Amino acid sequence: MRVVPCAVLVLLALGLPACSAPGPAGTAASAAATQDPSPTGSPAPAGDLPAPAQREPAPVSTESAEASARPSSPPPDLHSDPGAVDVVVNKRRPLVPLDYAPTGLRLPEVATAGDTLLRSDTAVAVEEMFAAAEDDGVGLVLLSGYRSFADQESTYAHWVDEYGDAAAADTVSARPGYSEHQTGLAFDIGQADGACSLVLCFRDTAAARWTAEHAADFGFLLRYPLGFHGITGFSAESWHFRYVGRDVSLVMKAAGTRTLEEHLGLPAAPSY
């Protein structure tokens, strides 16, 4: 494992340190118009809260605010095995059990912000993708991977405190038991120099552009694409990827399908 020295890494996962990286920030292209409002500021300095305000929540409709108070219905049988690579976790599909923890987690042999664990199959694919990016002159860093139920409880509680209510927090953070990170199949990436880590401007970095083009070749899906929060339930995150296997990722890429819900014919999950 190579740990990135002094990179400006603003982490969602609790307890991971932030620091400053030498070298120039990545060159950003012009930002595209977005329905998912987010600040474009620089990463927070070291010493801030472990889950600093990285983006603003998407607009919350009356329906979604009311729905957030309603209990979720049981998930369907298809694509609900938390140990399967085809599991779909969203606001309408909680993990069963809620405190599920995967087995076989390991630390990928890539540049990482800390002890970032992933499922073994996901870790292998991450290693392959990071090596290919490096061959193309693009430096990637793994910012976060597996989060336990307890970790997600803390992360979600922070966002509720940050925004003042659950409805706003729900647009940027999953409730415990409803997070892909809890499966060990999902992770966040950054650029090796720390430019725009976990903030809107990341989508214009070389790291984001390279992974958007090549991630499917390694079995990954950009899980929360821009403009699809009505389906996924979350504001756009150009850094959040999910392992689905090459069979699925390449079919989706060829068809131009952007979300796992659409590919599998599952209902949209805009709210709980």
Residues 119-145 pLDDT 10s: 999 999 999 999 999 999 999 999 999
117 has pLDDT over 90: yes
Please, what CATH class does the domain formed by 2-14+59-264 belong to? alpha beta
Quick check: 257 and 241 in contact, CB under 8 A?
no
257 has pLDDT over 60: yes
pLDDT-based confidence at residue 76 (cuts at 50, 70, 90)? low
Verify whether residue 63 is a known catalytic residue. no
For the CA atoms of the chain, what is the radius of gyration?
Answer: 17
**How far is Cα 162 from Cα 21, in angstroms, rounded to an integer?**
27
pLDDT-based confidence at residue 236 (cuts at 50, 70, 90)? very high
**How far is Cα 80 from Cα 78, in angstroms, rounded to an integer?**
5
- Residue from 162, 180, 213, 237 carrying the catalytic annotation: 237
Strand partners, 105: 119
CB atoms within 10 A of CB 134: 14
Q: Tell me what the mean pLDDT of segment 199-215 comes to.
A: 97
Q: Tell me what the mean pLDDT of segment 141-167 comes to.
A: 96
Q: Tell me what the mean pLDDT of segment 37-50 comes to.
A: 36
pLDDT-based confidence at residue 57 (cuts at 50, 70, 90)? low
